[in-house]
Structures are given as C-alpha cells and as structure tokens.
Amino acid sequence: MAGTPHNMNETNTTCETIMSSETARKVERVKDALCEQGSILIAFSGGVDSSVLAKLAKLAEPNGVTVLAATASSELLGDHGLAHARKVADEIGIEHHVFKFEILRDSEFTENTRDRCYHCKKHLIRELQKIAAENRIETIADGTNITDLAGDRPGYAAIRQADVFTPFVDFTLEKSEIRRIARYFGLSVADTPSESCFATRIPSGTRITIPQLSRIEKAESVLHAHGLHGVRVRTCEADHDQLAHIEIQPGDIKRFIAVQENVTRAFGRIGFDRVMLHQAPDA
C-alpha cells in the first residue's frame, strides 16, 4: 500500500513524525512485545483494534514470528461482517482463518443476562485455544484497549482468566491513539465507527434467537445499501419487537432523512412496522 512502511526499521524512524512521541513509544513497546512471541494467533474481527494489532503483528514476521488471524463466523457477525473481516485481512496481507462459532448452542449466552459477553468470550477463547494448538501457536492476542476498560466489560474478565495477551491494555493505548496508528498505516478501518455484535442490539433479559439476529442483520443491510454505515438497529421487548430503534452516525442524519420512506417500507417487509431515529453515541 502506498505510503505504508514496509519494515520495522522504517516504522521506527518515521512513527514519531506522525503521532505524539508518547504514542510512538507505546507502539515501539507493543512491537517489541510482539517480537518476543514465537507465534501469535490474533482474535480478528476486522475492527480498528484487531486490525491495528494484526498489522503490528504482521510487521513482526520478518523477525521470525508466525502470525495467524482468526475470525469467528456466526449469526452474531453476519455475512456483511465476515466479508468485511476478509477484506481487511487481505488488505493487511495476514494469513486468515475463518471458523464456525456455534455460540447460540450455549444457553448461558442465549439467556442474555448481563454477563452474556463473559460467556461468549469464554466460549470464543476455547475455540481459539483449539486453533492455536492445531497450528502450534503459543500466544493468543486480543485487541482490547485501555479505553474499553472504562465501561462495563464482562468479556474482559474471561480474557484475563485465560491469560490472553492484550498489548494495548498492557501498554495503555487508548482508542484515539489506535485510530491514529491505523491512519499512519493507511488502514481502511482507521475512521470507521466502532462495531459490536448483533446480540448487543437485543435488550438484556430477552432471549437471543436466530430469527431475531437475522431480522436485525437484514435491517442493517438495508441501511448499508442506502450508503449508511456504522448503524445499529435495536429492538425493545416493550415494543413487542415491532419498533426498530435506528442509531445513525451524526453526519448521516440528513442522508437517512432523504431515504427514510424507502427504509421504512423495507423495514416493514422485514417485520418492523415503525422506526425511531437516534443519534449514535461517539465511537
């Protein structure tokens, strides 16, 4: 990719010219820590965090480090999310493995209690451990960053229990810094809004089912087809799941209004008879 450093030394000499010296020092620490691993399996969603981690790990390969990115394919990610992950992995040039993630067989997850993400992450790590063992990979790495820990993150407890490597936490990289690093490397995900799995669209306490997830995926696909990205369609049990709460990025509100009539008709065919617009929280 034009403008992207091709080796570790080039990154060392130019990194401080495009970001703060403190962020540059953190990047160097992360790279050094990655180079100390003999082999790394990246939990890869295609979001900005896992993509930057994959890119930095890829730069460690000339130092003898084996790197593999692994993406869990399930109803939580959807077809669009999987295609996106494949595209970004190809952009980075990293070896990419996609595996079937059958999390909906786990009743502790589908019950959708407040610790849903803990059960999901625990199940995911078990699958990643199998892949790591099959490929003789020593370290599983995750792109959780220090900003993530400010919120309620039950999934992080599972990460710590399994001793998963989290260099962005270990070296205190914030979300804003990771985005700047992504811009430096020219990654297409640098400024994309944060994403989350489709299960987060369903209110806690409402059982998660394939039909619910499928309907949400279809609804968000309608919005993508109208050029709206970083959107989320949420349901609410009190509305008997007929009202779609649509979260739109601030810069896309005018675009949504222009296509709202078409969107509403398409949502009606999916099973939502009403829509309510909300501005998405900051990424």
Query: CA dihedral in degrees (3, 4, 10, 12; nearest 10)?
Result: 110
pLDDT of residue 273: 87
Domains of the chain: 8-184 (3.40.50.620), 198-279 (3.30.70)
Give the single-character DSSP code of 208. Answer: P
Q: What is the mean pLDDT of residues 182-203?
A: 91
Nearest to 246 by CA among 264, 262, 258: 264
Amino acid at 212: Q
Average pLDDT over residues 254-258: 93
- Cα maximum dimension of the chain: 58
Average pLDDT over residues 31-52: 96
Tokens coding 146: 């220090």
Q: How confident is the model at residue 1 (pLDDT cuts 50, 70, 90)?
A: very low
Nearest to residue 139, comparing CAs of 222, 210, 34? 34
Q: In whole angstroms, what separates CA 163 from the centre of its chain? A: 20
Using pLDDT thresholds of 50, 70 and 90, give the confidence band for residue 179: very high
Which pTM value belongs to this model? 0.88
Q: Which of 58-67, 181-190, 192-201, 261-270 has the lowest mean pLDDT?
A: 192-201
Average pLDDT value for residue range 66-76? 97
DSSP element (H, E) containing 11: helix 8-14
CB 87 within 8 A of CB 46: yes
Amino acid 161: pLDDT: 96
Cα of 18 vs its chain's centroid, Å: 25
